[in-house]
Amino acid sequence: IFLLYTTLRGAPIELVGPDGFRGLGHIDSRQDTLTIDITLRRPLAEDALTEKQSSKGQPQSGKKGRRLEEEEIVKTFTLAQDKTALRSRSGDTGSVLWRASVELARVILQQNAFLSTNSLPLFNGATLANTHVLELGCVPTGTGLLGAALSPLVRTYTLTDVSALLPLLRKNVALNLASTTSDPDSASRSSLNNVVVEPLDWELANHPTTKPSAQRINHHNTSHSSDEQHLHVDADPKYTLVLAIDCIYHPSLLPALVDTLCAATPPGAWALVLAELRAEDVLREFLARWLDGECDGWKIWALRGVVGVHYALWVGLRTMRA
């Protein structure tokens, strides 16, 4: 933690919004709808190698232009926000898009667009293709951005949050469903048919009827269902990757967050925690609870150099049930 914040203090303030201020980490809380373009570029080292290899022969007309097009890919997502709720509901952070989800989406999409020797095994295409993802509190992190961005890469993607925020999640799934199905070049799984939206309250993480080791149900059966629907206990939980993206912001929620992380992650599965560096004491408390709390059976690693200096990134492997 000390090294993270020491590095941060020496870094320029780059995370600024359209209004010119960095804020707490949201992109632009003034808009009802955001269009997010994530640009993926081939790493410079690979670009140089391609140039060297191509120089062996006489370049053909138009070859360079085609190669440049192949080296830059733009992924576009449309996300609705509830800017009124952010300002009028006490404690509401889940109605606007936050930067952390964009950062992680860029990292994973970049790795899968341009394979390199620095790739993380957890994000490899072959690994993701068999991954069942559960995202905790996904509205605070990005109003469903990661579900839209990563669903073409994974087996299933379950988005969760409290019931009051599910309509916004479902709206964004529908918005991006429309955009992908209208694209004739999109892959079959990119229609978001493998995305599920379900209610989950962290403070009920250890309640037997809401424990998130759950059966997944088809998104089409839940998109118009009652918010009273709960997660059902599954004797054979199948989530293999649990995401907690920018969920560390209020100390009163840390016990519930850690309990939920433990309840959601079965033995043999991975948890990934990404947090923007805000209050140092809150981040220290979270890590202490995760490492030394009642929830045991974890092997945890810090990943350096994967995301920007404004973030902390950890992965944990669950080795046993607490």
- Report whether pLDDT(270) > 60: yes
CB contact at 8 A, 26 and 98: yes
- Taking alpha carbons only, the member of 27, 44, 164, 157 closest to residue 102 is 27
State the pLDDT confidence band at 45, using cuts at 50, 70 and 90: low
Supply the pLDDT for residue 250. 87
Which two tokens mark 41? Answer: 């570029």
Alpha carbon 209 to chain centroid, angstroms: 26
Query: What is the per-residue pLDDT for 219?
Result: 32
Phi, then psi, of 72 in degrees rounded to 5: -135, 125
pLDDT at position 97 is 79
pLDDT by residue (tens digit) across 140-195? 555 789 999 999 999 999 999 888 889 999 999 999 876 554 444 444 344 568 99
Rounded CA-CA distance 140/130 in Å is 26
- Note the pLDDT tens digit of each residue in 54-109: 445 455 545 544 455 568 899 999 999 877 655 444 444 445 678 899 999 999 99
CATH of the domain at 18: 3.40.50.150
The predicted model gives 279-303 an average pLDDT of: 91
Task: Quote the pLDDT of residue 289.
Answer: 94
Residue 274 has pLDDT above 70, yes or no: yes
Residues 224-238: tens digit of each pLDDT = 334 333 444 343 447
pLDDT value of residue 47: 47
Asked whether residue 21 carries a pLDDT value surpassing 90, the answer given is no
Report the amino acid identity of residue 94. G
Q: Is 152 helix (H, G, I), strand (E, B) or coil?
A: coil
If you average pLDDT over residues 39-53, what whole number do you get?
Answer: 62
Q: Which residue has the higher pLDDT, 85 or 300?
A: 300
The domain of 158 spans 2-54+63-318
Mean pLDDT of 275-282: 94
Residue 257, SS3?
Answer: helix
| 177 Cβ contact partners less than 8 Å away, ≥ 6 residues apart | 191, 192
Cβ atoms of 246 and 140 within 8 Å: the answer is: yes
Cα 33 to Cα 81: distance, rounded to the nearest angstrom: 6
Identity (one letter) of the amino acid at 225? S
Q: What is the structure's pLDDT at 207? A: 53
The pLDDT value recorded for residue 164 is: 86
Q: Mapping DSSP to helix (H, G, I), strand (E, B) and coil, where does residue 131 land?
A: coil
**Number of domains within the chain:** 1
CA angle 17/22/25 to nearest 5° reads 85
DSSP reduced 3-state for 264: helix
Tokens of 288: 């202490």
Q: Identify the DSSP state of 266.
A: -
pLDDT digits 0-9 by tens, 237-250: 479 999 999 999 88
DSSP 269-296: -EEEEEEE---HHHHHHHHHHHHHSS--
- pLDDT greater than 90 at residue 223: no
Pairing, β 311-318 against β 298-302: antiparallel
Which pLDDT value is given to residue 49?
A: 43
Average pLDDT of the residues in 277-303: 91
Range with the largest mean pLDDT of 1-5, 240-244, 304-308, 316-320? 240-244
pLDDT-based confidence at residue 322 (cuts at 50, 70, 90): low
Would you state the structure tokens that stand for residue 133, as one six-digit string? 């993802």
